[in-house]
Amino acid sequence: MSRQTRVLLVFIHAGGAGKTSTTRDIGAELARRGKKVLLIDLDPQANLTNWLGVYDAQPEQTMQGVLMDYEAPPEPLHVHGLNLIPSHLTLARTERLLGGLTNSEGRLKVAIDTLRESGKYDYILLDSPPSLGRLTSNAANSADWVIVPIQAALKGLNALDGVQETITEHSRTNRGLKVAMYLVTQMNNTNVAHEMVAAFKEILGDRVSGPMTSRPAIYGKAQTEGRPIDGSDRNEADALREIAAATDTLLERVGDNA
């Protein structure tokens, strides 16, 4: 039986909301559940790449050739039970050059469709830049679903209009694009945080999931060690439970009952 490949874009146009750690940790949780997962780092900052312990990726290992010349997707790296197409700072230059090319916002879709047809993956997760440029547009035009991490803070509330407008705009060219969930992140036990979560639920209804508790020491340690949150440290157990709960919600929203 052929594998159904679901393509998920993790996107928020404001930094600090846990976009990259969400990509990494939900990807790792899906892999723990037996899913074949490919992560694609499209952010020139390459945090996803680094946070998975890859520090020496070369431009030719990235999606640069795909975006510039319609090349076939590069062979992924294998890290922590995941497949990874890494990023490199040169993708920032690639984004600038895309403006002078035809079909500048649809080139990634050609490669993603090739990956779908290969039947190798259950899930492809795209980590886009925290911006509204052509790399993000390429990702949005390639995806089926969007995961939106939003901080439990006024900054997160203020970002909602912009992210919703962006998703609406891209759904004009990618009519199948849907929001899987708005994942509340950076939650702490303050009145402001609880008020923000209540506001999110009032605005977004049952599309809200989480929250993910702010755990800077735990997440910082995993980043430094170049690995996902995996429960190897007993202090990570609560964080891993939150990741598992968010993944449960995701699977329900995308109709994956396997």
CATH of the domain at 242: 3.40.50.300
Task: Please report whether residue 169 resides in a domain.
Answer: yes
Task: Please report whether residue 224 resides in a domain.
Answer: yes
Percent of the chain's residues with pLDDT above 90:
88
3-state SS, the chain, equals CCCCCEEEEECCCCCCCCHHHHHHHHHHHHHHCCCCEEEEECCCCCHHHHHCCCCCCCHHHCCHHHHHHCCCCCCCEEECCEEEECCCCHHHHHHHHHCCCCCCCCHHHHHHHHHHHHCCCCEEEEECCCCCCHHHHHHHCCCCEEEEEEECCHHHHHHHHHHHHHHHHHHHHCCCCEEEEEEEECECCCHHHHHHHHHHHHHHHHHEECCCECCHHHHHHHHHHCCCCCCCCHHHHHHHHHHHHHHHHHHHHCCCCC
* pLDDT at residue 160 greater than cutoff 60: yes
* pLDDT at residue 214 greater than cutoff 50: yes
What is the pLDDT averaged over residues 173-179? 93
Task: Please report whether residue 77 resides in a domain.
Answer: yes
pLDDT tens for 39-72 read 999 999 999 999 999 999 999 999 999 999 999 9
Pair of tokens at residue 221:
């340690």
pTM: 0.95
pLDDT tens for 74-106 read 999 999 999 999 999 999 999 999 999 999 999
Task: Please report whether residue 258 resides in a domain.
Answer: no
Q: Is the dihedral of CA 165, 156, 128, 44 positive or negative?
A: positive
* pLDDT at residue 186 greater than cutoff 90: yes
What is the pLDDT averaged over residues 213-241? 93
Task: Quote the number of domains for the chain.
Answer: 1
Give the span between the Cα atoms of 244 and 23, in whole angstroms. 13
**pLDDT score for 1:** 44
**pLDDT score for 234:** 80
Task: Please report whether residue 1 resides in a domain.
Answer: no
pLDDT tens for 1-30 read 457 999 999 999 877 889 999 999 999 999
- Give the structural domain span for 91: 6-253
**pLDDT score for 111:** 97
